Structure 1
Amino acid sequence: MDIDAFVTAHQPTWNRLERLVQRRRELDGAEIDELVDLYQRVATHLSIVRSGSRDPMLIGRLSALVARARAVVTGAHAPAWREFVKFWTVSFPVVTYRTWRWWLGTAVVFTAVAVLFAAWVSGNPEVRAAVGTPEEIKQLVEHDFANYYSENPAGSFATHVWLNNAWVAAQCIISAAVMGLPIPQILYTNAANVGVTGGLMIDAGRGDVFFGLITPHGLLELTAVLLAAAAGMRVGWTVVSPGPRPRSQALAEQGRAVMTLVIGLFAVLLVAGLIEALVTPSPLPTWARIGIGVLAEAAFLSYVIVYGRRAARAGETGDIDNAPDFAPAS
């Protein structure tokens, strides 16, 4: 099917239905009859497009139009709870799942940089001397690092951590507007900070304290931040290599995918913040605190793999413009 010719031929019909839907409270009898007729015709167009084209933008547009027209014709609407469930079982996990290559690559590079910095600092007295005086390093490794997690009330600390992590993730998301170019620097700075602190703690013989405090919340926290960074860089790469789609269409799709991630990561970072405020400084044994962090990370990754893979196999994209289709396709 020549999709361009099909769009050209039926665009006036779609525009007319759109106008009638927008004026739904002002329609007279003849216009109501016209709206019902156009709704049936556009539903048929949607069925044709679905069977003869893989253009997600066009399918999403017609799906939304047919759903809105059906709501006017029948008075039906999508319950809010259904939209909520769809977001968490389809939209967010499928967008996350479809980003896995960028996400995994980002995680590998981030970890490598942090490990290299830790090894460099722990094995090089000259580097440690450049980081701080012996008194400053002693204060950090013996007091400041551990006290950071318990010196403030849990509630205010959780809020502070949540907002701070959300800001780092937001920087990555915002950077998508400039092709993601600042993101490597943002990640490098954070990886270097983690590596330097870890190197100082390990050199002082307090590596168990470092990993015992950073692991419970750090796994989920870094996973979320690295996902935001991966999504931002993926948008930037779309500018360079949009694939078979028009560049504007590819960018629009990736941009909406990023917005879906923003909402989902807001909740994920909240969980990480609560773990950091309530579990990390708790009197639980180290193995128990680390176990909680590992379980939280495993639960999130399992959720993404199970629901994301299922949605991807069903042809879902997570595009927020591709609203749930409550209208018949034929």
Structure 2
Amino acid sequence: MNAPATDLALLRSDTFRKERQDEWERLEELLTRMEKGRLRRLSDEDVLAMPALYRTAASSLAVARETSLDAATIAYLEALVQRAWFQVYGPRIGLWRWLRDFLGGGWPARLRQMWLDIYIAFAVMFAGTLIGWLLCAGDDNWFYRLVPAGMAGGRGPDASPQLLSESLFGGGEETEGLSLFATSLFSNNAGVSILAFALGFAFGIPTLLLLLYNTALLGAMLWLFFRADLGWDFVAWLSVHGTTELTAIMLAGAAGLHIGRTMAFPGNRAIMAAAKSAGVRAAVVMVGVVIMMSLAAVLEGYVRQLVTDTATRFVIGGSIGALWLAYFVGAGRGLAAKPGRAEDTP
């Protein structure tokens, strides 16, 4: 009894396919040519026919699903309609144009929408640095609690000023020791950046704690070198890559705080809708953070190693910091005045 029903279904599916096969094949041919970058070879007639062919294929898919045609036909139409949608309605922007728009103002514009979170992250990082300094100034043992032994590389309250100086300006194993500290600090900061953003969904509380602890570590190192009258030399040494690296951490923390703050105070929106909106904006910022951390790695690995003069280090670090500030404040001002998508609205 099932055989006639099966034969009827196959016949119906075969008839359905034959009636529309030519249009499907033409659409598939046009899609293949467009996907291979041959858009310029399409005639005006082909370009105008694309939307109609797409709608026909989408209508065929709806009918095929409604009438429960064979799975092969439905799967073919699903793939065809999906490909056609990306060509008809998908974004018309390549990687290089996207990168140009991103660096040309899209990234700074998103950052300025998060100004409050950036101020909070900066304040927490400043407080963490001050706390680390004061704890070590009150008790030397706090240095060992804040700075892991592997990261300090033997630099601690018991180290002589000569050893600390050699680690900044040269001295064989001493230079290598502080290079180990810089490498460990970069790895630590990269991890902190990722976690500060990822944990923002917990209403930003873990993000604040991470920023606080990470800069307490920095405060401990500043205390150590200033106590040996080498503080400004250490600041100059750190500024070469630190202006980029620490700014990236601050922005990553701000991105995490932005998500957490939006979830805690969603306003008239549902929490998940608010989180989605903030997440889109924060994700754009994190792309820039990745770029900054990559640049910091290059500065730490090459420029800082080649320049040993304190004044020159200050000039390099200060110039880089000023460039970042000017870029974030000034770039993309025109974009901020343009109406954006709903999810980009603060």
**TM-score normalised to structure 2 length:** 0.63
* Count of residue pairs brought into register by the alignment: 263
1:128 equivalent among 140, 144, 156: 140
Query: Which of structures 1 and 2 has the bigger CA Rg?
Result: 2
2:159 equivalent among 134, 139, 143: 139
C-alpha deviation, 1:308, in angstroms: 3.9
Report matched runs for 1:1-330 at 5 Å.
Answer: 25=28, 32-33=51-52, 35=54, 71-72=87-88, 77-122=92-137, 124=138, 127-129=139-141, 131=143, 136-139=156-159, 142-143=162-163, 146=168, 150-151=175-176, 163-316=187-340
Distance 2:276 2:306 in 1: 45
Q: Indicate if the aligned counterparts of 2:128 and 2:214 stay in contact, CA closer than 8 A.
A: no
RMSD across aligned positions (CA): 4.0
- CA deviation profile, 1:130-169 (whole Å, cap 9, x unmatched): 546x995232765366379942899x99987655432211
Distance 1:234 1:130 in 2: 32
Distance 1:305 1:149 in 2: 39
Distance 1:188 1:176 in 2: 14
Taking a change above 3 Å as real, the CA distance of residues 286 and 114 of structure 1, as seen in their structure-2 partners, is same
Q: Indicate if the aligned counterparts of 1:95 and 1:318 stay in contact, CA closer than 8 A.
A: no
Q: Indicate if the aligned counterparts of 2:128 and 2:213 stay in contact, CA closer than 8 A.
A: no
Distance 1:214 1:275 in 2: 10
C-alpha deviation, 1:121, in angstroms: 3.0
Amino acid at match of 1:243: G
Secondary structure at 2:176 match in 1: coil
Q: Indicate if the aligned counterparts of 1:257 and 1:318 stay in contact, CA closer than 8 A.
A: no
Taking a change above 3 Å as real, the CA distance of residues 261 and 273 of structure 1, as seen in their structure-2 partners, is same
Distance 2:316 2:288 in 1: 21
Distance 1:135 1:168 in 2: 22
Q: Indicate if the aligned counterparts of 2:240 and 2:300 stay in contact, CA closer than 8 A.
A: yes
Q: Indicate if the aligned counterparts of 1:91 and 1:319 stay in contact, CA closer than 8 A.
A: no
Q: Which has the higher contact order (CA 8 A, sep 6+)?
A: 1
Secondary structure at 2:205 match in 1: coil
Give the corresponding residue for 2:15: none
Give 4+ residue runs of structure 1 displaced > 6 Å after superposition. 156-161
C-alpha deviation, 1:117, in angstroms: 3.2
Distance 2:293 2:342 in 1: 20
- CA deviation profile, 1:273-327 (whole Å, cap 9, x unmatched): 222222333344211111111111221221122224332122346969xxxxxxx
Q: Indicate if the aligned counterparts of 1:94 and 1:317 stay in contact, CA closer than 8 A.
A: no
Taking a change above 3 Å as real, the CA distance of residues 149 and 260 of structure 1, as seen in their structure-2 partners, is farther
Q: Indicate if the aligned counterparts of 1:149 and 1:276 stay in contact, CA closer than 8 A.
A: no
Secondary structure at 1:244 match in 2: coil
Q: Indicate if the aligned counterparts of 1:173 and 1:231 stay in contact, CA closer than 8 A.
A: yes
Distance 2:329 2:134 in 1: 33
Structure 1 unmatched runs, 5+: 1-22, 38-67, 321-330
C-alpha deviation, 1:258, in angstroms: 2.1
Distance 2:189 2:174 in 1: 15
Distance 1:149 1:221 in 2: 23
C-alpha deviation, 1:205, in angstroms: 1.9
Distance 1:316 1:34 in 2: 31
Taking a change above 3 Å as real, the CA distance of residues 31 and 264 of structure 1, as seen in their structure-2 partners, is closer
